Structure 1
Amino acid sequence: MKAKQVIRIVVILWLVLPLTGCWNRRELKELAFVAAMGIDKTPKVNEYKVSFQIINPGSVALGATGGAGGQPDSPITVYSGTGKSLFEAIRKTSQKVPRQLFFSHMQVLIIGEPLAKEGIQDLFDFFERSHEIRLTTMVLIARGSEAEPLVKMLTPLEKIPANAIAGKIKMTSKIWSENIKVEMDDVIRPLVSQGEPMISGVNVIGDQEVGKKTLNVQQSDLSTKVNISGIAIFKNGKLKGWLDGDEGRGALWIRNKMKSTVIDLDCKDKKDAVGIEIIRSHTNVEVEIQNGKPVFHIHIRETGNLSEIKCSLDLTKVEEITNLEKQLAAETKKEVLEAVKAAQNEESDIFGFGEAVNRANAKAWNKMKKEWGKTFAESKVDVEVDAFIRRSGMRIKPYISEQEGTSKE
């Protein structure tokens, strides 16, 4: 009897299971894929403006030529709307879209500079609660403008502009390291602790109106371009300033985010005659409390290769390599101290030094955390750099050395 009951239950379950189907299934033709999102502040108090870069599947499809007169259709459509909260603005904007907004493939979130100056703390509660938006979405600040114009920009090479912007920030942080790839989670973590986020900037070079037209990307020399520009630094969640060039690179060294870059060194009487490619870098930050105040010790160990030489240099001599290594260490230290000075001027702990103090001495941290911005700005920072040059590339002697040797003969 028991065996029959078991068989009956198994059969019933087997018959019922297919009835559940795909209860949450959504057809592709019913979805509007959001590639990028922009957030701005409107002139009204407590009102947001959101802009969605939505993929036009017909234009993105391979071989699609599109509109009248042989002109291609835009690969994207941008919808905008306003609301007293992000959620309200998104829902109100969705009324304008003939399909359901789908955020799972969103590549970038762009925040307008005016909004960033007012504060970004309240923006990320919605994103962290959403089951659809990935916290690996990249975050950028629209430098010198609102976010909406950047969401509307068209780009070459990549049909979907959001992919182009994401690709640019990945490449610039990977091969030049004056900018940093920041995801939503990277912004949220310092906002809920004692640190401050660093977020790369993006801006438009040229006429924004021209950049929205397909004609702009049909030229070999674009009149309007999207550019990754600087690193935004914050205090209490509000945009305070920007790090550019060496300052940005120095900040990445401190944060142990340096991947690769190029540093030019002097060679005898020639300025910037030797190019060094940094291929490896590791940073360690330690803190000690002296007379109730924190002192930070930054130790950087980096490895580079000779990538270009425009002077007479005998690489077979150890002292020549040693001299270059000393120069490299000194230049790295200079850039790190420039970044420290810039951050201290804004009382913005973008390096996570406060967390380091808390880990090292919780009692000392409890005494100084209320005035941490001021304490950080007055803190002493020591920097030590060990630089090593390992390879000279496929050539030992520079061309200039051989030319000088030939002329002497």
Structure 2
Amino acid sequence: MKSERVFRIIVLLGMTLLLAGCWNRRELKELAIVSAIGIDKTTKANEVKVTFQIINPSTVATGIAGGAGGQQPAPVTVYSGTGETLFEAIRKTSQKVPRQLFFAHMQLLILGESYTREGIQDLFDFLERSDEVRLTTLVLVARESEAESLIRILTPLEKIPANSIAGKIKTSSKVWSESIKVEMDEVIRSLVSKGDPMITGVKIAGDPKAGNKTTNIKQTNLPAQLDISGIALFKNGMLKRWLEGDEARGAVWLTNKMKSTIIDLDCNERKDAVGIEIVRSHTDIKAEIQEREKPVFHISIREEGNISEVRCPPMDISKVEEIMFLEAKWKTKTRKEVLAALKAAQNERSDIFGFGEAVNRANPKAWKEMKQDWGAIFAESKIDVKVDAYIRRSGMRLKPYMSEHEGTANE
């Protein structure tokens, strides 16, 4: 009898746990799902502007925006507002939205270029304290424009513009590697350490006014589109300059985020005659600490790739010496791009590559003495770069088509 009573009590206690299971349940029809947030500086002192890109669920779910003919509603709605603090701007903008803002599915945080040049520390202090915004949200800088202008651009293929930009960032970082996928928690880690963040830029190509109309996605030649454009280099939380081309790709190598790219090599008198696709790459940074001297950094890069194109008639890639010749040129080019990125960072005294963390790992005691003046120490540190590059595959053809074709033509 006593055991039966105990059993009933246990069952009742278990049921009470289920009663609170949906205490914070919210209906979809009551929510405004935010896909992107933009932060800008206004012309007034100490005033910020917040822009929300909110999904129109009925349009997206039914596929209306992808239909033909007639007046079609936009897949997203954009609201913006201002305030003296970020929190005030968010609350004031929320008053314009007929539903409760829901940030759990937010894809992007976009920062206007003018805003980033004045400092981003306060913004990320606020966001890190928030329990609504995911720390895996992608962060971008709106290059040469406001974040609001960028957020208003409608995109083809992906109905939700935020998803389109996020997809471009992921694709670009995988196949070309002159940009990097940076999430909010990475920026926060850089700001709280003695390092500095770097963030990929996005630029409007075309007419911004035409881009925020649904007609922008009904044409094959888009009036406006969003392009990935460079990497923003920060110092003390402020944007200092942009890395592009060789500098940007060198920065990707140094952060060990190189997934894949194409390296073009010269051959004899032909420029960019041989293409190599990088399929694997790994970068290791080690610090050597000597008493009363600046640290010395040893960067080791190992990469593997396949020959993708040969337009050099004399070359026969079935020969080992030809492969070794290409590997040597490949190493030289990689090292050149890495050194270009290092020079840019050292000129700005901006440790965007986490060299300070390497010092801390090697000698925590020495790091405590250096970290207060780390920017100056980093700028004058000696850095040694070693590259090992290996060609794994040459494709189905050993000799260039051009050489055989030219030989046939001469007969």
Fold equivalence (TM over 0.5): yes
Question: With structure 2 as the length reference, what TM-score do the two structures score?
Answer: 0.95
CA deviation map 1:357-399 (0-9, x unaligned): 1221233323322221111111111111111111112222210
CA deviation map 1:169-213 (0-9, x unaligned): 001101000000000011000111111111000111111111111
Name 2:35's counterpart in structure 1.
35
Name 2:250's counterpart in structure 1.
250
- Pair 1:180-2:201 in alignment: no
CA apart distance, 1:314? 0.5
Is the 2:35–2:105 Cα contact (8 Å) retained in structure 1?
yes
Name 1:230's counterpart in structure 2.
230
Instruction: Give the secondary-structure state (helix, strand or coil) at the position aligned to 2:375.
Output: helix
Is the 1:67–1:73 Cα contact (8 Å) retained in structure 2?
no
| Cα distance in 2 for residues equivalent to 1:376 and 1:260 | 29
The one-letter amino acid of 1:71's match is Q
| Cα distance in 1 for residues equivalent to 2:21 and 2:408 | 82
Q: Which segments of 5 or more consecutive residues in structure 1 lack a partner in the other structure?
A: none
Instruction: Give the secondary-structure state (helix, strand or coil) at the position aligned to 2:50.
Output: strand
Name 2:282's counterpart in structure 1.
282
Residue 25 to residue 315, structure 1, CA distance change in 2 (3 Å) = same
Instruction: Give the secondary-structure state (helix, strand or coil) at the position aligned to 2:285.
Output: strand
CA deviation map 1:11-62 (0-9, x unaligned): 6446656654621110011110000000112233332211000001122123
Residue 336 to residue 68, structure 1, CA distance change in 2 (3 Å) = closer
Is the 1:325–1:387 Cα contact (8 Å) retained in structure 2?
yes
The one-letter amino acid of 2:252's match is L
Across the two proteins, how many residue pairs are aligned to each other? Answer: 409
What fraction of aligned residue pairs are identical, expressed as a percent?
69
Is the 1:59–1:66 Cα contact (8 Å) retained in structure 2?
no
The one-letter amino acid of 1:97's match is V
Name 1:24's counterpart in structure 2.
24
CA apart distance, 1:407? 4.3
Name 1:198's counterpart in structure 2.
198
Name 2:379's counterpart in structure 1.
377
| Cα distance in 2 for residues equivalent to 1:24 and 1:248 | 45
Is the 2:65–2:74 Cα contact (8 Å) retained in structure 1?
no
Residue 103 to residue 15, structure 1, CA distance change in 2 (3 Å) = closer
Name 1:345's counterpart in structure 2.
347
The one-letter amino acid of 1:155's match is T
The one-letter amino acid of 1:223's match is P
Residue 375 to residue 12, structure 1, CA distance change in 2 (3 Å) = closer
Name 2:297's counterpart in structure 1.
296
- Pair 1:358-2:322 in alignment: no
Alignment root-mean-square deviation, CA = 1.9
| Cα distance in 2 for residues equivalent to 1:271 and 1:69 | 49
Please show how residues 67-106 of structure 1 align to structure 2 within 5 Å.
70-106=70-106
The one-letter amino acid of 2:134's match is R
Residue 15 to residue 355, structure 1, CA distance change in 2 (3 Å) = closer
| Cα distance in 1 for residues equivalent to 2:18 and 2:364 | 57
Is the 2:37–2:110 Cα contact (8 Å) retained in structure 1?
yes
| Cα distance in 1 for residues equivalent to 2:271 and 2:174 | 26
CA apart distance, 1:324? 0.3
CA apart distance, 1:101? 0.4
Return 125-134 or 306-315, whichever deviates more.
125-134
Name 2:210's counterpart in structure 1.
210
Is the 2:274–2:310 Cα contact (8 Å) retained in structure 1?
yes
The one-letter amino acid of 1:212's match is N
| Cα distance in 1 for residues equivalent to 2:77 and 2:410 | 67
Instruction: Give the secondary-structure state (helix, strand or coil) at the position aligned to 1:256.
Output: coil
| Cα distance in 2 for residues equivalent to 1:379 and 1:16 | 63
The one-letter amino acid of 1:293's match is K
CA apart distance, 1:406? 2.8
CA apart distance, 1:299? 1.1
- Pair 1:336-2:338 in alignment: yes
Name 2:401's counterpart in structure 1.
399
Name 2:49's counterpart in structure 1.
49
Please show how residues 98-177 of structure 1 align to structure 2 within 5 Å.
98-177=98-177
Is the 1:177–1:249 Cα contact (8 Å) retained in structure 2?
yes
CA apart distance, 1:88? 2.0
Is the 1:292–1:364 Cα contact (8 Å) retained in structure 2?
no
Name 1:368's counterpart in structure 2.
370
Instruction: Give the secondary-structure state (helix, strand or coil) at the position aligned to 1:319.
Output: helix
Is the 1:79–1:97 Cα contact (8 Å) retained in structure 2?
yes
| Cα distance in 2 for residues equivalent to 1:185 and 1:281 | 24
Return 288-297 or 308-317, whichever deviates more.
288-297
Is the 1:155–1:225 Cα contact (8 Å) retained in structure 2?
yes
Residue 14 to residue 387, structure 1, CA distance change in 2 (3 Å) = closer
Name 1:319's counterpart in structure 2.
321
Return 76-85 or 323-332, whichever deviates more.
76-85
Residue 18 to residue 236, structure 1, CA distance change in 2 (3 Å) = closer
Please show how residues 253-268 of structure 1 align to structure 2 within 5 Å.
253-268=253-268
CA deviation map 1:279-324 (0-9, x unaligned): 1111111121355111111111111110011121111111111100
